Structure formats: C-alpha cells, structure tokens
Chains A and B, each alone.
Chain A
Amino acid sequence: MLAYIARRLLYAVPILIGVNLITFVLFFVVNSPDDVARMHLGMKHVTPEAIEKWKEEHGYDQPLLYNADEQGVAKLTDTIFFEKSVKLFAFDFGSSDAGRDIGDDISQRMWPSLAIAVPTLLLGLLVHISFAMLLAFFRGTYLDLSGVVLTVILMSISGLFYIIGGQYLFSKVLHLVPISGYEPGWQAWRFVLLPVLIGVFSGLGSSGRWYRTIFLEEIGRDYVRTARAKGVPELKLLFTHVLQNAMVPILTGVVAVLPLLFMGSLIMESFFGIPGLGSYTIEAIQTQDFAIVRAMVFLGSVLYIIGLLLTDLSYTLVDPRIRLS
C-alpha cells in the first residue's frame, strides 16, 4: 500500500512540472514582463524608466531563464523562472502585484470558502441522493417521468439564474437573509445559508439525474433480483443493498473534488461577497493581478492531483476487487 502511494506521488511530480511550465509560458513568454508592466501603468505615455521601475518593484527585472551576469548557481537562480515558478513547488507564492503576501491571503481566505463549500457538498449529497432514490423507487411511473423532465429543465437553466433569482426572492422580496456579505465566526450562518441552498438546488438537475441512472443500473443487477425473489421488501432492498453498492461510484466522485473545496466557488463567492478564495481569484482576474492568478493555477493543480490520488485510494478501499498494481 505504502509503495503504491509513493509511486503515485512520484507520478504526480512530472505533472506538476508540466503545469508549472505551462503557467510559465502563459505568463512570461506569451507577453514579456515589459508588456505586462506597460499594461499596469496604462497604455499611453509610459516611459521606459517607469517600466523598469515597475519591474524592479515587482521582481520582474531579471532575465527569464538564464542570468549571464551572475556567478555559479546564481546564473540559474537569479531568474524569473526560478523566482516566480520554481519557488511555487515550495508553496512560496511570493507577493501579489499589489504587494500583499499571497500565502497569507490564502491561509486567511480559505476558511470562508470552506464554510460555503463543505455544507454545500454534504447537504447536496443528502438531497440529491434522496431525490434520486425517490425517482428510482417510483421508476416507470408518472412521478419518475416528471422527475426526469424536471431534471432536464433544471439542467438547462443557467447557474447565474439560480443565484440572481435566489437573491431576489429570499433577500429582496422575503427579507429572510442578507443579500451579501460575511462575518467570521458562528454569526456567519446567516450569510452562508442562501449560497448553500442555491448551490444545492442548482446541482439538483445534473446530480439527481446521474444518481438516478446509477441506481437504476444497480437495480437491474442479478443480486437485486435474487434478494427480491427471497422476499426482501422493496424499501429495504433499496436502502441497504442498492444504496450501498451505488455509493461506490458516488463517493469516489466526491472524493475527487474534496481537495478542490478549498478553492471555493468563483461565481457564488463573488455574487454573495464572501471573502473566500473564489472571490480572491475573481478579484485578481478583474484587476489583472497575474501573480495571484498564477499562484491559484498552481494551487488548483496540486489539489486536483491530490484528488486523483485520493480517488484511486478510495477505489481500492471500497472495492476489494480492485487490486493495487
């Protein structure tokens, strides 16, 4: 088992290097630091001195890959590639273009993100599975049919509509919760409630439909027929046999996204003014703070790879037929 994990971890290294190279090319080769500096300083009337000054202040004044002016190892380390890209491996994100420390920002802002993402995931699982179970129990009836139609309709509605509509209905018309904002500590529930509910509801279409397919597939299997022939009541059959076996694909799907919960939801957080990592990223995109975007790209990839690893592990834990090889 340990050897397997170690091998999987080793396999992640070249992928991270690849990600790092892609971000490096995107952020420093497609546009030179000069272009970026010019854009930050405004397009017109930019003197070369101002560009140099900006680059120096933000640490972009070194050569890209190879510094011929330095001695020894410094030829390679006093470069943008080393300072800005290689250091990401040590989770040293450096400072943003606005001068703040990105690592500090991330450790502060991940908590509000989690406060939204974790309840959304848990409540979502509960609601979506119950909904799919309901449809599977009444399979072939009008209830099932209208449920499937409902999921297609829900899937066809833009996620933005759920947010805007939810804010309008619950905050503006009914005054149940504040429209947006956040407060640390337990007081946060008032602000978290609506995003969580909207998140759960907007996922109902696709998840509900997918889970229903999984349940129906499982119901069609031989062991279910055997159990029914032995006289196991339908409800018990669904909740013990079918649910247990259907949980394998569902839970492994969930495990893959667990690490990414840290990143938060871009749209949700920015609509509700939650100071999490999602809105952090959006602000960075809108103010064109490339240092933050670069850090978030790297962080996201690391979390994704951890998710992949966890998925593989959970498969082997849940399903003894799968051997580690």
Chain B
Amino acid sequence: MIKPVILWTDALVFLLVGIVVVFAFYARRHEHLRAPWREVVRGRIAVASLVVLAFYTLTGLLDSVHYRKALPMQDGQVEVQYGGEVFSLLDALLGDVGSQVEKTYSAPFAYTLYTRETVVDENGVQKRIFPRLKYGGAHLDDPATQRGADIAARSLAALWQALAFMLVLTLLLSLWLAGRWRLSPARALRRLLRGDSDVPWRTALFTIFLFALLAALIVNLASAWHVLGTDKVGKDVLYQTLKSVRTGLVIGTLTTLIMLPFAVTLGMMAGYFRGWVDDVIQYLYTTLNSIPGVLLIAASVLMMQVYMDTHPELFETMAERADLRLLFLCLILGITSWTGLCRLLRGETLKLRELDYVQAANAFGVARRVILVRHLLPNLMHLVLIAVVIDFSGLVLAEAVLSYVGVGVDPTTMSWGNMINRARLEMAREPMVWWSLLAAFSFMFTLVLAANLFSDAVRDAFDPRLRR
C-alpha cells in the first residue's frame, strides 16, 4: 500500500513540464519559432548537451513522483498508517541503496570500512582490523579474490543491456527517418550511421549510448557495491548525488518560473507606459538590486528559518518542511534575480514601442492591453528565453555556495551544496577522503557544462543581433 504525496515543488515541476509541452506544440505550428530551434538542433555540441540535459531531467522527474509507504498493520488496527518517510520513483528504481547505511566512510567499491576498528575475535583476542561492510560486497564470500570478477560480470551485463537498448533505439529511429526521408529503412540506417543528416542523429545516439551505459552500470552495480563509496555517516554517495539532481534542477528552473511573471510584466509596463509607472518600477528594482544578493538571500532565509522553527505545527512530515524551504529559497532567489531581466525588457520595450507597427496599432485604437500582449510580448520572448537558459547554470552553481554559507536548502535535503559542505574538511583527513567531493563536483560540472553549451547555442540561434 502506498499513498501518493504531491509536494509543492512537485506540483510546480509538473506545471513547468506542462508549460514546456504546450510551448513545444505552439512552436511547432509557428515557423518563426521553429526556425531558430531547428538551427539549435543542427549543432553537434548543442544536441549532445541536450541529451545530457534530458537525462538529468529524467532523473529529476523520476525523483519528483513521491509517495509514502504504509506501515505494517498492528493487531486491532483499522485504519492504515503511513510512514513519515517520503520516497520517490527514483528510490524504487535504485532498490535499497538509500537504506543501505554503513557505519562510516568506505571507499568506492570497497568491501571493508575505511577506518580500522578494534574487534574481539572468538578467542577473546583484541585485533585492529578493517571490518567488512554490511552491504557493500556482502554477497561475496571472499571479496579479495572475487571482487574484480564480480564487478566485471556486472559491468558486462550492463554493457549488453545498453547495447540492446541502443540497437532497438537505432532501428526505431531509422524506421522513423525512413518515413521522413522517403528511403528504405536499410538505406536510412546507413545514412544515419554515416552521419549524413541535418540533425546530427549519430551524435545524439552516441551520447544516449554513453548515458544509457552509465544508467545500466548504476542499476547493476549499485545494489551490490557502494559505487562511489559512503560518507561519514555511512550513506551511499552515489545515491545522494543522484537525489541531488532534482534539487539542482528545481532551483535552476523554478526560480525562473517564479520570477518570470514579475520581470516580464513590470519590465514591459515600465517600458510601455513610461512616466510615473516607469519611475516606480525603476525605483523598485534599483532598491532591490542595491542590496548585495547574498546578503538579501541570507537575511530572508534566516528569517524564514526562524518562522519555521517557531511554527513547527505547519508541517506534517520532514520532507514537507524541507520541500517548503526549497520552494522559499527559489522564491527568494527569484526576488533577487528578476531585476536584470526586468531592466533588459524595459529597454527593449522602450525601443519597440516607437516602431511603426506599434504606432499603427495605436492609431487604429487597439487597446493597450492587446498591444502589450499581442504585439510586444512575442517580440520580447527571445530575450526571455535567452535569460532563462543563461540563468539556469548560474543558479545551479549558486545553490552550492548558498548551502555552504548555511542559507541554502534544508540540511536534510540532498543537494550538491550540502554534500560539498559536509565533505569540505575531508581533503584534510589522513588518509584523504575524496569521493564525496568528486561525485558532487563532477555531477554538477556535467550539468552546468551541458547547460552552458546549450545556452550558447540557444543564444546564437535566437539573438537577432548575432544573426547573419
């Protein structure tokens, strides 16, 4: 028995997915929107980074479907009780990795703890040994000799799975392309593999293969080994890193979702109406802008923390509390980051409102509301889109810094910032513990790099100033 749970951020994430789907359908039917997107997906780098982003998004979406498990029924109990812990589909996919907690640090693919412990053996003699892990490699009798073979066997199985998946995918794709190119499937496949297509399908397939292999490796290996080791309290690092993906994506996207309505409305109003409206809006964003961002965020988060501490009755589960804090963080980040886009839109509207077609609409007596929405807004959308994709990577990086300062997400939320914060003293340990930091930094780096490359492609395609 499970009970679905919809957290606030889940609802917003699915709202965002809905918006993107609707926009995609809208853009399909409008040539002026299709053309730049077609240009974006022609670049190899852009396609590869799009695939990377898609895999991250998939992980994040799987992790956004939450539920609570029913507790075992007691005698005489009528109603089903649900546990306080909230799980997600990603947890279900990964199996029991999240609950396989060791005692403390263990290295990647280790079968013993990282530190020695004093153990009393059956003869009553005290010994200092590295004790076996409870879960990592526990299925082997003699891991010292069997470990390599076990990992190889599992990796090979993952390789076969990924290859089989790719085979099916490639065939399906060539069937589809055969229909589009009006070729026989065999010739379409050959053309696909030659890399002779507008959209670089071969690059896309190769990137998908890499990530499918990675996913298969994780699913095959994570149940038996701690692939990226465990942290100080013995939790699996890989599991934490994967769960952090959602936090990063939520901060990168929801912040913009929250701030966009403000930035667009106010920016357009300031630019179109001018006069006192412009003065008020300019005053508003200059004032907000003049408070250094980190300090404003810190002050707001501190105040929110006090509020949450003094009103504990508002939250049913820990997850809800942490989730609300995440949402508030997005809100606060949104408040501090809308000013730049607002100023940009104001300037652009000032320019557009003097153009002939707007003047003509004015002369025809078109309502100002209609001019704003139908004539000005579509011509500002490219700026909005560019701002959204550019902000994304900055926000993902900012999360880590804020969590380090102590004003980021809730300490119980898994995020790269929290992982780095907890692990920052581990480099100074003897012997050094490097895997937590490496995992967090490399997952974050991959996401941000893909986002940066993709946003470059989007900007090149959409910015009319750059168009030749």
Contact = CB atoms under 8 A, between A and B. Distances in A.
A156 interface: yes
Contacts of B420: 158, 160, 164
Contacts, number: 126
A200 interface: no
Given A18-B287, A300-B291, A267 B299 contact: no
A19 B299 contact: no
Interface in B425-468: 427-428, 437, 441, 444-445, 448-449, 452-453, 456
A164 B419 CA distance: 13
Given A22-B291, A26-B303, A164 B452 contact: no
Interface residues of B, number: 43
A153 interface: yes
A14 to B, nearest CB: 7
Given A43-B309, A160-B420, A30 B441 contact: no
B310 interface: yes
A197 B457 CA distance: 32
A304 B448 contact: no
Contacts of A157: 441, 445, 448
B290 A19 contact: yes
B136 to A, nearest CB: 26
A143 interface: no
A38 interface: yes
A267 B404 contact: yes
A31 B310 contact: yes
Nearest to A168: B427
Range of interface residues on chain A?
35 or more
Contacts of A27: 299, 303
Contacts of A260: 292
Tell which of B310, B407, B416, B453 has the most Cβ of chain A within 10 Å: B310
B292 A26 contact: no
A167 B445 CA distance: 19
Contacts of A167: 427
B184 interface: no
A146 interface: no
Contacts of B300: 26
Interface in B300-322: 300, 302-304, 306-307, 309-310
Nearest to A17: B287
A304 B441 contact: no
A156 B404 contact: no
Interface stretch (B172-180, B205-213, B337-345, B393-401): B393-401
A250 B199 CA distance: 39
How would you classify the secondary structure of chain A's contact residues: helix, strand, loop or mixed? helix
B393 A156 contact: yes
A226 interface: no
Tell which of A26, A158, A281 has the most Cβ of chain B within 10 Å: A158
Given A26-B300, A160-B401, A39 B310 contact: yes
B298 to A, nearest CB: 5
Contact of A285 (B309, B405, B452): B405
B13 to A, nearest CB: 23
B347 interface: no
A18 B289 CA distance: 11
B296 interface: yes
A288 B456 CA distance: 40
B352 interface: no
Interface of A: 14-15, 18-19, 22-23, 26-27, 30-31, 35-36, 38-39, 43, 152-153, 155-161, 164, 167-168, 172, 179, 260, 263, 266-267, 270-271, 281-282, 285-286, 288, 290, 293-294, 296-297, 300-301, 304-305, 308
List of 4 A-B pairs having minimum Cβ-Cβ separation, nearest first: A18-B287, A156-B449, A300-B292, A156-B448
Given A14-B283, A19-B287, 9 more contacts: A30-B303, A30-B306, A43-B309, A158-B445, A159-B397, A164-B420, A164-B427, A164-B437, A297-B295
21 contacts: A15-B290, A19-B291, A31-B303, A36-B306, A38-B310, A39-B306, A153-B449, A157-B445, A158-B444, A159-B397, A159-B401, A160-B424, A161-B445, A164-B427, A266-B294, A281-B295, A285-B298, A285-B407, A288-B302, A293-B302, A297-B292
